Structure 1
Amino acid sequence: MKLQELVYELETKMEVTNKQVDETIQIRGLADNTNQIEEGYLFIAIKGFMKDGHTYIQEAIQKGASVIIGEEDLQNEEIPYVQVKNARRALGIISSKYYHHPSRNKTLIGITGTNGKTTTSYLVKHILASLGHSCALFGSIHNIINGVDYPSQHTTPNSLEINRMLADSKDDVVVMEVTSHALTQYRVEGLSYDLALFTNLSHDHLDYHASMEEYFEAKKMLFDLLKSDGIAVINTDDSWGEKLAETLQEEGTSTYRIGEMSGSDFRIVGSNLNPPRVKVQEKNEIAAIHSNMYGTHNMYNVTMAYAAAKVLGSNPAEILRAIQNFEGVKGRFQIMTHHEVNFVIDYAHTPDAIFHCLSTARQGGARKVIHVFGFRGDRDRTKRREMITITSEISDHYILTFDDLNSVSKEDMEEELHHLQNEHGNEKGQIVTDRTKAIKQAMELAEAGDWVLITGKGNEVYQQRYEIPAESDEDMIKNLAYQR
């Protein structure tokens, strides 16, 4: 592709403050990482949180880059340089152009919200695949393209990787989890969505966003990327969802509300949590949705997925059959039963998610609820007290332990756990920093009819080494159950 095509695309969509270019240059590829550069590539210098791509420009040139795009005012005589106001946004715009706007030729579904994105995305994919559509998935567990699973490094990849995957995909439909980080960092810039879903918004990522209002505005950005005839499906039982729906309707966006509130387009008019079943009324018709996923939170996920498939024109009876055959998502309220004790592995790492997990165990008839969880290093510390408060109110016993420490030392995290536990002063809780030993202790405390909930990691493998050899929470439970 000629450079002039990419520069023109930038000039029509954003401010180009300076360009020193021979626009007839042929661009053989794009890269924002010097490890990916080949001869004739265009290198986009991104200012990251840890590293500044501008410091790698000389390396990019040495490796064969023929053009540089960046934000700094550089006088470069070696190769053409294009200066822009926002390099992240520029990357999204030119990535989409370079790969011939691949999102335009597919049904693109974006799902955002604090909790429920992963379960809802897998469920939507399952429904549409069951109805005969070839369906890709970009998410926090795997990226699935043309029926092949690839490990996921980020919930939402960067814009260059997304457009590359979209171009490679021969699938009819692409279902994508979209985080607030991805939206504010322009990772989905240049994409056009047919359908956007909002699950909920609750306390999370306030180490990144300055306030809940700012967090909400970030989520709202997804709906600005809808095609002119795009559709929004919103959980309006959530107050932030109600605010979003009102705004979208004022803007003329086709908007469907789901929830128990009167006026919902897909209104929840009845539910049974054991076995899981929810009745949803649309106009004068009521659909009885049977699923294999427990909990009020999954009642909303199921309703959201049903509504999404329905507004895309799918047959209601076929949607219901597909939902009934869905077995759930690994690491999302995954139940493993051993010796009449239910062990639940869940990714829950927010106050709201922990509340729903523990409440579901209570509603499921737990004789006693034992909760094992921790806090991730370098993550939002403001939600930690609330998480302890919730578990102390609902569980019978909780064990604070390590999650991913990231750059935080073991000593600092242990001090934090003791500080929070002492501050709370609740006799229900204890601290066992080794995660494997904490799970083992929970199993030893549990008796027939009890539920043990292990939250925070979900399907993820351990980053730290622990005393008992295990790769994950699931692996740990299997090992202990075998030994018991």
Structure 2
Amino acid sequence: MKLSKVLDSLEGCVEEYSLLHNPDITGIKMDSRKVMPGDLFVAISGYQSDGHHYIKEAIEKGAAAILGERIGDISIPFVVVQDSRPALGKIASSYYGYPSKKRKVIGITGTNGKTTVSYIVKHILDTAGRSCSLFGTVNYVINNEVYEPVNTTPDSLLIQEMISKSNDEFVVLEVSSHALEQSRIEGLEIDYGLFTNLSHDHLDYHHSMDEYFTAKAKMYEYLKPGGKAVINIMNPWGAILSDRLKSTSTPVIELGEKGSGDLSIEDIKLNGETFFSLKHGQDVYGISFPYPGLHNVYNASLAFLTALDLGIRPEVIVNAMESFPGVPGRFEMMQHPSGATFIIDYAHTEDAIEYCLQAAKEHDANKIIHIYGFRGERDTTKRENMVMASAALSDSFYLTLDDLNGTSEEDMLSELQALNKKYGLGKGTVIADRTLAIQKAWETAEKGDWILITGKGPEEYKVNFELPVSSDKDALLYLQKTKDGEQVV
């Protein structure tokens, strides 16, 4: 790719450039340590480091050209833009041959449910014999190969590279608000934009719910001509988004309830099983879903509506949903020898905690025990509501440590004690070591109890705990193999 072609992909964005010559660009890098001879180095003003400080290093390593927001006197071709982040996405899309134009791209945004919806959509497509790549919080899947995720939504350079390597017909992509604010999906073109819901989260980053909503709504700026929005209008923010998009003549497909929307949820039964019916026009479909909770009814229904519009036969969708194997760390269930049920879930907002605990109530739990904590240096404004939700819906709970992220253990434990005292309704206990909290719940579990461990899902611990384990699931598996304090071989 000639440097002049890079300039073409940035039409209207270039503020200054110098083409001393027109080199062949053999790669694109945003990390100076990875620059190879012939690469275009894109300097990004990051949150922890500034790529502009490493332009000299990139040149020394053989960069053929530099793109950035401020470039001094250098001896190789350069391009100056106002913002390097969106420029990177545009260049990467052009460099890799506009890969999203060649596939059906399904973007999913919202506070809760993105991962579950993405897995359900992929499972439906797989069941229908349609190939599908997946990019999200748990993992990336391309051509049936599974990769460890870098972020929920990869950076724009990695997205374009990975999609270009995919031979799959569909791409399903979780789209976080951070990714939208940081232009990570710039250069991507979306066929379907799904909106699950919006609730209090990430206000340390977005400052207000209006700003958070505005960030989420940016995804719809990337719809292809004729691309469609699929929106849960049962969520108030979803209803606002639907009206806003309709006013711009964007095609909108709505999920509602009791006769509203293009697909409506008519009847729901949650006692001991999850059964619901969906109405589309004059057709009604009954579905027995293998995972409990009203939130999973909403997740499954949004996936159903999307698949239906994609032209997947309804009976195939129903069969796929009834055989859905679940998502690692999303309402992942494990049975205790006593007959208690342990649940691991990523829930880390008030709404998500309410969904999980309410699901336990709907399944006639004997007692509900909740284990959770808070991440340091993250949105502190949601913590009070999370404790109040836990206290209202559980019989008892353990507040424990999560990732500290630079917050001192002493400060975090002090806050946990204060929150428990003020909002715990006498139900809470603070146990600093997360694995010991899980162990106590394991040792005292009784038949019919539901113990929910929330906040981390499949993620590994960043704090060293007492038990020799690396995640919540590892802790349960370790305890399952333990008898009277001895490891069972």
> Which of these residues, 307, 327, 340, is aligned with residue 305 of structure 2?
307
Retained in 1: the 8 A contact 2:259–2:266?
Answer: no
Work out the CA distance in 2 between the residues paired with 1:342 and 1:20.
Answer: 65
> How much does 1:330 deviate?
1.2
DSSP 3-state at the match of 2:364: coil
For residue 24 of structure 2, what is the amino acid of its counterpart?
Q
Q: Please name the residue that 1:241 is paired with.
A: 238
Work out the CA distance in 2 between the residues paired with 1:67 and 1:298.
Answer: 49
1:158-198 Cα distance to aligned partner (Å, 9 max, x none): 00000000111111111000000001100000111111100
Q: Please name the residue that 1:209 is paired with.
A: 206
> How much does 1:23 deviate?
5.5
Q: Indicate whether 1:316 and 2:314 are aligned.
A: yes
Retained in 1: the 8 A contact 2:334–2:341?
Answer: yes
1:328-378 Cα distance to aligned partner (Å, 9 max, x none): 111100111112000000000001000100110011110100000000111
Q: CA 1:367–1:96 in 2, change beyond 3 Å: closer, same or farther?
A: same
For residue 90 of structure 2, what is the amino acid of its counterpart?
I
Work out the CA distance in 2 between the residues paired with 1:349 and 1:312.
Answer: 32
> How much does 1:464 deviate?
1.4
DSSP 3-state at the match of 1:335: strand
1:133-177 Cα distance to aligned partner (Å, 9 max, x none): 111000111100011000001000000000000111111111000
TM-score, normalised via structure 2 length: 0.97
Q: Please name the residue that 2:278 is paired with.
A: 280
Retained in 2: the 8 A contact 1:237–1:261?
Answer: no
Q: Indicate whether 1:162 and 2:159 are aligned.
A: yes
Q: Please name the residue that 2:333 is paired with.
A: 335
For residue 92 of structure 2, what is the amino acid of its counterpart?
S
> How much does 1:78 deviate?
1.8
> How much does 1:278 deviate?
1.4
DSSP 3-state at the match of 2:206: coil
1:107-145 Cα distance to aligned partner (Å, 9 max, x none): 100000000000100110010011111110001111000
Q: Please name the residue that 2:129 is paired with.
A: 132
Work out the CA distance in 2 between the residues paired with 1:143 and 1:303.
Answer: 23
For residue 332 of structure 2, what is the amino acid of its counterpart?
Q
Retained in 2: the 8 A contact 1:108–1:195?
Answer: yes
Work out the CA distance in 2 between the residues paired with 1:425 and 1:383.
Answer: 15
Q: Please name the residue that 1:45 is paired with.
A: 43
Work out the CA distance in 2 between the residues paired with 1:150 and 1:480.
Answer: 28
Retained in 1: the 8 A contact 2:99–2:160?
Answer: yes
> How much does 1:418 deviate?
1.8
Segments of structure 2 that go 5 or more residues without pairing to the other structure are: 484-489
Q: Please name the residue that 1:177 is paired with.
A: 174
1:32-75 Cα distance to aligned partner (Å, 9 max, x none): 01122100100111011111111111111111111111112x33
For residue 172 of structure 2, what is the amino acid of its counterpart?
V
Retained in 2: the 8 A contact 1:194–1:231?
Answer: yes
Worse-matched range after superposition: 417-426 or 382-391 = 417-426
Q: Please name the residue that 1:417 is paired with.
A: 416
> How much does 1:320 deviate?
0.7
> Which of these residues, 34, 48, 52, is aligned with residue 36 of structure 1?
34
1:294-319 Cα distance to aligned partner (Å, 9 max, x none): 10000000000100100111110111
Work out the CA distance in 2 between the residues paired with 1:324 and 1:345.
Answer: 21
Retained in 2: the 8 A contact 1:351–1:386?
Answer: yes
> Which of these residues, 56, 60, 63, is aligned with residue 61 of structure 2?
63
DSSP 3-state at the match of 2:101: helix
Q: Please name the residue that 2:445 is paired with.
A: 446
Work out the CA distance in 2 between the residues paired with 1:19 and 1:465.
Answer: 50
Q: Please name the residue that 1:115 is paired with.
A: 112
Retained in 2: the 8 A contact 1:39–1:66?
Answer: yes
Q: Please name the residue that 2:396 is paired with.
A: 397
For residue 7 of structure 2, what is the amino acid of its counterpart?
V
Q: Please name the residue that 1:2 is paired with.
A: 2
> How much does 1:15 deviate?
2.5
> How much does 1:24 deviate?
1.8
Q: Indicate whether 1:218 and 2:226 are aligned.
A: no
TM-score, normalised via structure 1 length: 0.98
Work out the CA distance in 2 between the residues paired with 1:77 and 1:156.
Answer: 34
Work out the CA distance in 2 between the residues paired with 1:387 and 1:405.
Answer: 18
Work out the CA distance in 2 between the residues paired with 1:182 and 1:77.
Answer: 32
Work out the CA distance in 1 between the residues paired with 2:368 and 2:179.
Answer: 36
Work out the CA distance in 1 between the residues paired with 2:406 and 2:94.
Answer: 38
1:421-446 Cα distance to aligned partner (Å, 9 max, x none): 23336310010010000111122332
Aligned Cα RMSD in Å? 1.1
Work out the CA distance in 2 between the residues paired with 1:382 and 1:245.
Answer: 28
Retained in 1: the 8 A contact 2:388–2:424?
Answer: no
> Which of these residues, 136, 145, 149, is aligned with residue 146 of structure 2?
149
For residue 170 of structure 1, what is the amino acid of its counterpart?
N
DSSP 3-state at the match of 2:466: coil
For residue 292 of structure 1, what is the amino acid of its counterpart?
P
Retained in 2: the 8 A contact 1:370–1:446?
Answer: no
Q: Please name the residue that 1:98 is paired with.
A: 95
> How much does 1:18 deviate?
1.2
> How much does 1:254 deviate?
1.4
Q: Indicate whether 1:227 and 2:224 are aligned.
A: yes
> Which of these residues, 70, 75, 80, is aligned with residue 77 of structure 2?
80
1:216-236 Cα distance to aligned partner (Å, 9 max, x none): 111111111111111111000
Retained in 1: the 8 A contact 2:294–2:359?
Answer: yes
For residue 254 of structure 1, what is the amino acid of its counterpart?
P
Q: Please name the residue that 1:365 is paired with.
A: 364
> Which of these residues, 11, 15, 18, is aligned with residue 16 of structure 2?
18
Retained in 2: the 8 A contact 1:349–1:455?
Answer: yes
Retained in 2: the 8 A contact 1:199–1:301?
Answer: yes
Retained in 1: the 8 A contact 2:156–2:185?
Answer: yes
DSSP 3-state at the match of 1:318: helix
Retained in 2: the 8 A contact 1:29–1:40?
Answer: yes
Retained in 2: the 8 A contact 1:111–1:199?
Answer: yes
For residue 130 of structure 1, what is the amino acid of its counterpart?
T
DSSP 3-state at the match of 1:170: coil
1:56-104 Cα distance to aligned partner (Å, 9 max, x none): 11111111111111112x3323212211111001000100010010000
Work out the CA distance in 2 between the residues paired with 1:365 and 1:423.
Answer: 28
Retained in 2: the 8 A contact 1:259–1:300?
Answer: no
Retained in 2: the 8 A contact 1:371–1:398?
Answer: yes
Q: Please name the residue that 2:263 is paired with.
A: 266
Retained in 2: the 8 A contact 1:2–1:23?
Answer: no
Work out the CA distance in 1 between the residues paired with 2:213 and 2:162.
Answer: 28
> How much does 1:415 deviate?
1.9
